[in-house]
Amino acid sequence: MMRSREYDYDDKKTVTPPATGDGFDFRTFRHILRIEGLIPFTGCAILIGFAAALWEVGFSGADWRLFGIAVVAVLLVHIDAHIWNDIMDLEVDRREKSRETKRDRPLVYGWATVGDYRKMSAIITVLVVILTAYLTMQRILIPLLFIMGFFFDYGYNHPRIALGHQPYTEWYIFPWLVVGVTVTIVYAATGIFSLLAFILSLLHGLTVTCFAVSMMRRDVHSDRLGGKKTSSVVSPEIPHATVYGIVTLLVSVLMFYPLVSILGSTEFAYLLILTTAVIAAINTVCGARIDHLCTRALYSVYPDFESKANTVMLQQVGASMVHAVAITVIVLTSGGIV
């Protein structure tokens, strides 16, 4: 029978409940930025979008002013998602071993209040609406793309919807976040809905989501105690991180012929698919290690589980960022851009 266990909150930081009037700690901004999530997802999606825009129309054919505005807007939407995620997961975060996972929790530590967070979100939302309105004057379909972006933002993170507390978001939200960002900025720069941007961003979206699935495996205990029902909580016996890596590997192979058709070069497409397959294989091996650690922690007392799983997960983050850089370099060189 599976053993359930409660956490002994073992964080060395002083935990103070958030309360109005305590003041605002500027360390909160560093946490909200959360570059360990911002760069692999949105940052890498922007990099891929840059390469796709160059491949589609060349440097002189793209509107880099609109590209820059779109980049700022999508980054703001992602940061807003971090804000609402902290609000949604407040009770879960009280139970998480922050020392082991090396994550600060401003609302738990009393660095800021929910009210502070809501004010920051309101400011960000107003800025995104203004930027979207400006982009719409040049690219009429931009509002549809940003509506999709806010669906990812509020749908996953807002406490009233809280899809992030439900299973299977690794399939219908995370990879499509990367696709949405890349397609949006390429459309802003070129006025084209690029099929190349769609496929490359889907491959990276699946690749980088491998680490998100591993994160869910790492957080399974605190998520269960906090009432979340992620895939790992609902079906802890399934090796989710391993399965996701294998699916990523299979999808990358299936994208070979579509890429050959788009690029007009078998060698070009082969390099892109080979790169994705190698990184997917690395993420699968790392995911299998995390699944093993998770299974051991489920059936025994394993106090070092979160720390060890976090170390392996960070290796997946690094591999995913290498993937984005590698396919960007391949597009720029094999595509004859540089």
Q: Kindly tell me if the per-residue pLDDT of 1 is higher than 80.
A: no
Cα–Cα separations (whole angstroms), residue 109 to 8, 105, 112, 152, 285: 17, 6, 8, 27, 35
Under 8 Å between Cβ of 252 and 175: no
> Tens digit of pLDDT for each residue in 237-268?
999 999 999 999 999 999 999 999 999 999 99
Which residues does 197 contact at the CB level (< 8 Å), separation at least 6? 48, 49, 52, 53, 56, 182, 183, 186
Q: What is the pLDDT of residue 237?
A: 92
**Higher pLDDT among residues 297 and 243, named by residue:** 243
Q: Kindly tell me if the per-residue pLDDT of 286 is higher than 60.
A: yes
Q: Please state the rounded mean pLDDT for residues 77-89.
A: 94
Q: At 300, is the pLDDT very low, low, confident or very high (cuts 50, 70, 90)?
A: confident
Q: What is the pLDDT of residue 246?
A: 97
Query: Which amino acid does the sequence have at 173?
Result: I
Burial 172-197, CB ≥16 within 10 A → b, else e: ebbbbbbbbbbbbbbbbbbbbebebb
Q: Please state the rounded mean pLDDT for residues 159-173.
A: 93
Q: Please state the rounded mean pLDDT for residues 5-17.
A: 41
Q: At 26, is the pLDDT very low, low, confident or very high (cuts 50, 70, 90)?
A: confident
H-type helices in the chain, by residue range?
A: 27-33, 35-38, 44-61, 64-88, 90-93, 98-101, 106-109, 114-136, 142-150, 156-157, 169-172, 174-190, 195-218, 220-225, 231-234, 240-254, 256-263, 266-299, 305-334
Q: Return mean pLDDT, the chain.
A: 89
Which class for 157: exposed (0-12), middle (13-18), buried (19 or more C-beta within 10 A)?
buried
Q: Which of 116, 107, 93, 129 is nearest to 9 (CA)?
A: 93
Other beta carbons within 10 angstroms of residue 301's beta carbon come to: 9
Q: At 3, is the pLDDT very low, low, confident or very high (cuts 50, 70, 90)?
A: very low
Q: What is the pLDDT of residue 92?
A: 81
> Tens digit of pLDDT for each residue in 173-228?
999 999 999 999 999 999 999 999 999 999 999 999 999 999 999 888 888 888 88
